[in-house]
Structure 1
Amino acid sequence: MAGALRGVVALDGPSGTGKTTAARELAAALGAGYLDTGAMYRVVTLAVLRAGVDPADAEAVAAVARQADVGVATSPQAPTARLDGVDVGAEIRTEEVNRAVSAVSAVSEVRGLLVAEQRRIITDAVATAGGIVVDGRDIGTVVVPDAGLKVYLHASADVRARRRSAQDSARGRESTPSQARTSVQRRDRLDSTRADSPLRAADDAVPLDTSDL
């Protein structure tokens, strides 16, 4: 089935719905590229934290984003995230980054810079691999509004909290479902109420409840 995908599949939804797993496996099955846009925002967030910048200071955050060299690989078998050429895949999944990423992602200039880069990556992947599966929170509404297939994944808060807690534990971080639920609900609130590109389903997206999947 290699090279079977032609064009773009957009997978959107809140955290804990299985976007990354679904996107990577679909891309691998179809011989397509894969792009985790959330990882790009996490890389910028890491750069902001390393610079000692307050994530709520939009002007300072934007200045860091302009200087940061954000790199991601589009192989579903080996996706990587780099900051200034160095692999930071583990560092961008820390709780410190989790707490700050929504604030950094809400900065309009950050979104503008990363959306432009995401579109470039997608265009290149379609030209070379024929297609790409992209996951995020604004893919079908902003990044690729003309994607051939848009899917909006959702799941109950309890299920997502259990998944996030299990992920944290697997990475060696202490986390209870209660703590994870608080974190998930906070992220949902911030992402869905930001002024620029809020989290929402595209009008033509196919809804998919992954609670029991």
Structure 2
Amino acid sequence: MAVSGPPGSGKTTYARRLAEDLGLDYYSAGMIFREVARSRGVSVEELNRVAASDPSIDLEIDRRTLELGCRGGVVLEGHLVAWVLAGVADVKIYVTAPLEARIRRIASREGRPLKEVYRETVAREYMHWRRFLDYYGVDVTNLQIFNLVVDTEPLDIEEAYFMIRTYTCRLLARRGFRLGACSR
């Protein structure tokens, strides 16, 4: 399963919970990215800037993501994960919310000023969009690959999760998967 979406949309919350509820392993492309940044002795922001002109960084992260996805029995989460796993993932979910709501969520979660979070988030989203378009010819604003797209802003966490979990279990059942956790 692949769960994608922009920063502050709730993708990590829902992916972790799906993995836990369904008895699957959880992985995050962001964790892989942070691991690469640490190994190079740079911040995530700096690695993002370097990755804008060095495709080997994204290609390494995407390779690791694809390896995990091919193993099966996993929920992978990240901004671009679903596009990387488009031909592998049995379920592709996109969670989103309006920019203002996402900025408030991130600022609240991280205890940072709204203006700072806004500036960083917009720059980060642009860099991701540009790199994926340049490296793969994929426009991440085109959501046609997704089985489910959920705007999390008008819903509370439980409502959104119920929708995501119910849809996921039904889709997996239609595809012949039998997860005991889905029958509960």
Shared fold (TM-score, shorter chain, > 0.5) = yes
Partner of 1:114: 61
Identical-residue share of aligned pairs (%) = 25
Partner of 1:12: 4
Matched residue type, 1:185: V
Q: Is 1:40 aligned with 2:40?
A: no
Shift of 1:36: 0.3
Instruction: Please report the RMSD computed on the Cα atoms of aligned residues, expressed in angstroms.
Output: 2.0
Q: 2:48 aligns with which of 102, 118, 121?
A: 102
TM-score, normalised to structure 2, is: 0.71
Look up the SS of the partner of 1:151 in the other structure: strand
Partner of 1:191: 128
Q: How does 1:1-213 map to 2 (within 5 A)?
A: 9-50=1-42, 96-97=43-44, 99-106=45-52, 107-124=54-71, 126=72, 131-169=73-111, 175-194=112-131, 195-197=134-136, 200=140, 201-205=142-146, 206-213=148-155
Shift of 1:116: 2.0
Look up the SS of the partner of 1:182 in the other structure: helix
Shift of 1:21: 0.8
Select the structure that is richer in strand.
1
Q: Give the Cα–Cα distance (whole angstroms) in 2 for the partners of residues 102 and 199 of structure 1.
A: 18
The verdict on how the C-alpha distance between 1:123 and 1:142 changes in structure 2, with shifts beyond 3 A counting, is closer
Q: Is the 8 A contact 2:9 2:96 kept in 1?
A: yes
Q: Is the 8 A contact 1:10 1:134 kept in 2?
A: yes
TM-score, normalised to structure 1, is: 0.63
Q: Give the Cα–Cα distance (whole angstroms) in 2 for the partners of residues 212 and 104 of structure 1.
A: 36
Matched residue type, 2:152: T
Matched residue type, 1:109: S
Shift of 1:22: 0.7
The verdict on how the C-alpha distance between 1:134 and 1:105 changes in structure 2, with shifts beyond 3 A counting, is farther
Q: Give the Cα–Cα distance (whole angstroms) in 2 for the partners of residues 177 and 22 of structure 1.
A: 24
Q: Give the Cα–Cα distance (whole angstroms) in 1 for the partners of residues 150 and 68 of structure 2.
A: 26
The verdict on how the C-alpha distance between 1:187 and 1:199 changes in structure 2, with shifts beyond 3 A counting, is farther
Q: Give the Cα–Cα distance (whole angstroms) in 2 for the partners of residues 162 and 29 of structure 1.
A: 28
Q: Give the Cα–Cα distance (whole angstroms) in 1 for the partners of residues 35 and 139 of structure 2.
A: 19
